[in-house]
Structure 1
Amino acid sequence: MAKDPKLPKVSPGSEVDAFLRKVAATPPPSGDARGRLIFAMDATASREPTWDQASHLQAEMFKETESLGGLEVQLIFYRGFGECKAGPWVQRSAELLRFMSGVFCLAGRTQIGKVLQRAAKETKAQKVSALVFVGDAMEEDVDHLGHLAGELGLLGVPCFMFHEGNDLVARKAFQQIARLSGGAFCTFDASSAKQLRELLSAVAVFAAGGRKALADYSRKTGGLVPQLTHQIK
């Protein structure tokens, strides 16, 4: 696959600020139901170097929501020749890590459309609070993805899109998916693992307990998260 043009340099701070503003504007979960979060990942060959890192990051998401009554998470991944799988809904990080440990990356094309369709199917069966997607490429029809993202927006499932690397096509597509679903977009690389961990944990806490839970989390952790709670206030 030919390399896409390099992305123009942007201020990491401004991207994080924009991401946090979008999370702050997202409606919190309603009622007493446990938050449900889909964690979707590109497991094609280009993501192999950072797969283990992502495993540790999602474990942090669980840890930060345990005191809120927990969070149900479903892992979806795609790889190889048309393979797209969804794991069971789990409530403990150990269960999800066990499932992820059996996954290895395989060369193949992206299947983001299948991920978005699965998210719509899941929330029609039982409300899904949010979708988190981590990937580095997009090789599908962007108009089709936009239509699917719009459907998720109507269903109240915001997509929080995390883009790894410098593929301009993927960046623009991820931004569109986030915008049309009512979610948010942010870039990251290997040097920003701490930042990504904070942002993922913030989304997970928000999905599990809403704005009050996020404010409590902010007071405990500091870092980037207070920017979010200040905007909510």
Structure 2
Amino acid sequence: MTSSRKNPLRQSNREDVDSFLQQVRARAPLASQSDRGRLIFALDATASREPLWDRACHIQAQMFEQTATLGGLDIQLAYYRGYGEFKAAPWTSRADELLSVMTAIRCGAGQTQIARVLQHTIKQANHGQVNALVFVGDCVEEDPDNLARLAGQLSIVGVPVFLFQDGGDPAATKTFARIAQLTRGAHCRFDAASAGQLRDLLCAVAVYAAGGSKALRELGRSHGGEALRLTRQLHGGD
């Protein structure tokens, strides 16, 4: 997005988190998978996210470190920025490699390229297992119907999309929620006040992608917080 303006959040963040957890609960259990989980982590690095970029990088770094201690998960970091620039790093399980790429990224003015993120994920899924796509962004400047079509293709190859919306842009909220629904993923909004919840939810989704419900239960017992709430939602508890 070329503008740095963001719409204020108008609904309780707690309600957004609860809704997110309900969506995850509605997902079918993970299908039989290989020994290692694979998660694509995609970022909007356009200019509108620059004011909060350092905060986002810190949160995402904590997610990488948390999942690295679990083991059994390969992550591919992808991002777009500028005018037509889209990059995807090699798959890795090493937190230091992911952090090295993250810290080198600088935001650049340009349009969103969510379609390229979805197309890339479809291609990766067609060449091997992908357990989930996590996307962090703040707006949509593309044809929502085309994004919905691509989301439908992701649903066919069995890849849920977990979308974390930075801010409260209403058009983005509508489109992100639709993508989540079509792929049987989930959508949650966050702002500066909910950074801790975002970190915990990112970690919980990554752990779920790596080790399924058992690994998520263990994380919930050891760390509590959103991981514990997610565990209870998945198993029909609180």
Q: Mark yes or no: TM-score above 0.5.
A: yes
| 1:77-92 matches, cutoff 5 A | 77-92=79-94
Which residue of the other structure, out of 163, 166, 169, is the alignment partner of 1:164? 166
Deviations 1:85-137, CA, capped at 9 Å, x for gaps: 11111111110111122211110000000000000000111111100000111
1:4–1:167 CA contact under 8 A, matched in 2: no
C-alpha root-mean-square deviation of aligned residues, in Å? 2.0
Structure 1 residues 57 and 71: alpha-carbon distance in aligned structure 2, compared to 1, 3 A threshold:
farther
Number of residue pairs aligned between Structure 1 and Structure 2 = 233
Which residue of the other structure, out of 92, 99, 102, is the alignment partner of 2:101? 99
1:17 aligned residue: 18
Deviations 1:187-213, CA, capped at 9 Å, x for gaps: 001121101000000000000000011
Q: What is the percent sequence identity of the aligned residues?
A: 53
1:60 aligned residue: 62
Q: Secondary structure at the match of 1:98?
A: helix
How far has the Cα of 1:177 moved from its partner?
Answer: 0.9
1:29–1:129 CA contact under 8 A, matched in 2: no
1:132 aligned residue: 134
1:151 aligned residue: 153
2:38 aligned residue: 36
1:61–1:205 CA contact under 8 A, matched in 2: no
Any unmatched runs of 5+ in structure 1? none
Structure 1 residues 102 and 21: alpha-carbon distance in aligned structure 2, compared to 1, 3 A threshold:
same
Corresponding letter in the other structure for 2:22: R
Q: What is the CA–CA distance in structure 2 between the aligned matches of 1:189 and 1:2, rounded to whole Å?
A: 17
| Greater shift in the superposed pair: 27-36 or 102-111 | 27-36
| Greater shift in the superposed pair: 17-26 or 178-187 | 17-26
Structure 1 residues 6 and 53: alpha-carbon distance in aligned structure 2, compared to 1, 3 A threshold:
closer
2:5–2:48 CA contact under 8 A, matched in 1: no
Corresponding letter in the other structure for 1:70: G
Deviations 1:17-59, CA, capped at 9 Å, x for gaps: 1111222333325234211111100011111122222222223
How far has the Cα of 1:2 moved from its partner?
Answer: 8.2
Corresponding letter in the other structure for 1:13: R
Confirm whether residue 175 of structure 1 aligns to residue 177 of structure 2: yes
Q: Secondary structure at the match of 1:64?
A: helix
1:218 aligned residue: 220
Q: What is the CA–CA distance in structure 2 between the aligned matches of 1:64 and 1:85, rounded to whole Å?
A: 24
Q: Secondary structure at the match of 1:57?
A: helix
Q: What is the CA–CA distance in structure 1 between the aligned matches of 2:131 and 2:226, rounded to whole Å?
A: 22
Corresponding letter in the other structure for 1:18: S
Q: Secondary structure at the match of 1:224?
A: helix
2:7–2:167 CA contact under 8 A, matched in 1: no
Structure 1 residues 88 and 8: alpha-carbon distance in aligned structure 2, compared to 1, 3 A threshold:
closer
Any unmatched runs of 5+ in structure 2? none
Corresponding letter in the other structure for 2:80: Y
Q: What is the CA–CA distance in structure 2 between the aligned matches of 1:58 and 1:188, rounded to whole Å?
A: 13
